[in-house]
Amino acid sequence: MNATIDHMVSLIVFIGAILLFIGLFSQTIQTAVVYESHKALSTKTSDLLDTILLNPGIPGDWGKTDVRPAGLGLQDPEFTQYQMSSFSLMRLDSSTGNLVEYDKTGSYYSNLSLGFGASLLMPKAQELNYSTALSLLGINNTYGFQLTLTPDITVSITETNPGSPLGLSVSASGTGSPFSGATINYCLIQVTLPQNESEYPSYTIQSGSNTTDQQGIANLTFPSVTDANQTYAFIAYAHLDGVVGVGYHTRVSATDQCVVPIVQSMGSQEVALAHNYDLNNSGPEGSSLKYNATFVISTEDYTLSELSLGNSSSQGVVGTVTSGVGNPSPTIPLPECTTGILIVTYQESSTQGGVVLMPWGVSSLAFPVTFGGNPVGQVWVATDIRQVTIGGIAYQAKLALWSTSGYQVNG
Amino acid sequence: MIRTIEVLLVIIIIAGAFIGTSYLSVLPAPRQVSPINLNRLSLTTLQMLDSDYDLSRAAFETDNSTVLGQLQVALSASLPPNVIYNLTVYDVNDKEGQLYTLYTPVANISNAESIGTTSDVSMYTVASSNVTFNVTPEKIGEKSNGGTLYILNCSDANGWWITGYTAQSLAQDLYNLLSPYFINTIMVQNTTQLRELIDNHTISSSPTEKVQNAVVINTFGECVPMPQEYYQGQSRASQGYDSNAPSGYGYVKYCYTLGNCVFMYNWTWASIVGYPFYYVSNTGVFSNDQNGWGIYGMKMTATGGSRAFLEGLNNQAYVYNSAQITDSANRVVTFTQAAIDSCNYYGIYPSIYQTSTRALSNSTMSSYNLRVGFNVFNPSGDYLAGAVYNHFAIGSTNITGSLLALGLTRTPDVRVTALSLLSYYQPRLYPSEYTAQGTSRLVVLQLGLAGGS
> Average pLDDT, stretch A180-201?
91
The answer to whether B170 touches B176, Cβ cutoff 8 Å, is no
The residue among A112 and A236 whose pLDDT is bigger is A236
Contacts of B343 (CB under 8 A, 6+ apart): B335, B349, B350, B352, B419
Instruction: Note the pTM of the prediction, 2 decimals.
Output: 0.67
From the number of C-beta atoms within 10 Å of its C-beta (0-12, 13-18, 19+), residue A20 rates as middle
> Average pLDDT, stretch A264-275?
91
**N-to-C CA span, chain A:** 59
Pick from B7, B44, B50: CB nearest A386: B44
pLDDT in tens, A311-344: 555 557 899 999 988 888 899 888 877 899 999 9
Residues within 8 A of A (CB atoms), B 16-55 only: 18, 21-22, 25, 27-28, 33-37, 40-41, 44-45, 47-55
A382 touching chain B per CB within 8 A: yes
Closest listed residue to residue B391, CA positions, set B376, B416, B372, B375? B372
Size of interface A-B (CB pairs under 8 A): 143
Instruction: Please give the pLDDT value at position B453.
Output: 46
Using the beta-carbon criterion (under 8 Å), do B47 and A82 form an inter-chain contact?
yes
> Average pLDDT, stretch A382-409?
86
Instruction: Please give the pLDDT value at position B94.
Output: 60
Residues within 8 A of A (CB atoms), B 399-428 only: none
pLDDT-above-90 percentage for chain A: 52
Mean pLDDT of chain A: 88
A379 touching chain B per CB within 8 A: no
Least confident of A301-310, A390-399, B68-77, B360-369: A301-310
Q: State yes or no: pLDDT of A25 exceeds 60.
A: yes
Q: What's the gap in Å between the CA of A57 and the closest CA on chain B? A: 20
A389 touching chain B per CB within 8 A: yes
Model confidence at A163, in pLDDT bands (50, 70, 90)?
confident
CA gap A351, A64 in Å, rounded: 39
pLDDT in tens, B297-346: 999 999 999 999 999 999 999 999 999 999 889 999 999 999 999 999 99
User: Given its phi and psi angles, is residue B186 left (phi above 0), alpha (psi -120 to 50 degrees) or beta?
Assistant: beta
How big is the CA angle at A339 (ends A338 and A344), to the nearest 5 degrees?
115
Q: State yes or no: pLDDT of B101 exceeds 70.
A: no
The answer to whether B165 touches B412, Cβ cutoff 8 Å, is yes
Q: Please name the residue of chain B whose CA is at the shortest distance from the CA of residue A392.
A: B51
The residue among A308 and B396 whose pLDDT is bigger is B396
Instruction: Please give the pLDDT value at position B384.
Output: 94
Instruction: Please give the pLDDT value at position B175.
Output: 94
Q: State yes or no: pLDDT of B146 exceeds 80.
A: yes
Mean pLDDT of chain B: 89
Q: State yes or no: pLDDT of B61 exceeds 50.
A: yes
Residues in chain A with CB shorter than 8 Å from the CB of B109 are none
A182 touching chain B per CB within 8 A: yes
Instruction: Please give the pLDDT value at position B362.
Output: 87
Q: Please name the residue of chain B whose CA is at the shortest distance from the CA of residue A24.
A: B18
pLDDT-above-70 percentage for chain B: 94
pLDDT in tens, B286-304: 999 988 888 899 999 999 9
CA gap B143, B131 in Å, rounded: 32
Residues in chain A with CB shorter than 8 Å from the CB of B9 are none
A79 touching chain B per CB within 8 A: no
Q: State yes or no: pLDDT of B117 exceeds 90.
A: no
Instruction: Please give the pLDDT value at position A175.
Output: 83
Which range scores top for mean pLDDT: A107-116, A331-340, B178-187? B178-187
Strand partners, A149: A369, A397
CA gap A259, A117 in Å, rounded: 10
Least confident of A110-119, A152-161, B159-168: A110-119
> Average pLDDT, stretch A339-360?
91
> Average pLDDT, stretch B391-413?
93
- Domains (ranges, CATH) in chain B? 33-128+437-449 (3.30.1140), 136-431 (no CATH)
Instruction: Please give the pLDDT value at position A409.
Output: 41
Best of B5, B6, B7 to substitute, by most chain A Cβ atoms within 10 angstroms, is B7
pLDDT in tens, B30-56: 666 677 889 999 999 999 999 888 899
> Average pLDDT, stretch A348-365?
91
Q: State yes or no: pLDDT of A22 exceeds 60.
A: yes
pLDDT in tens, A49-60: 999 999 999 898
Report ipTM for this prediction: 0.85
Q: Please name the residue of chain B whose CA is at the shortest distance from the CA of residue A394.
A: B48
Cβ atoms within 10 Å of A42's Cβ, excluding its own: 22
Domain residue ranges of chain A, discontinuous segments joined by +? 1-411
> Average pLDDT, stretch A365-375?
92
DSSP A17-45: HHHHHHHHHHHHHHHHHHHHHHHHHHHHH
Q: What's the gap in Å between the CA of A6 and the closest CA on chain B? A: 5
Burial A229-251 (b: 16+ CB within 10 A, else e): ebbbbbbbbbbbbbbbbbbbbbb
**H or E segment and range at residue B57:** helix B54-59
Q: What's the gap in Å between the CA of A385 and the closest CA on chain B? A: 6
Instruction: Please give the pLDDT value at position A310.
Output: 63
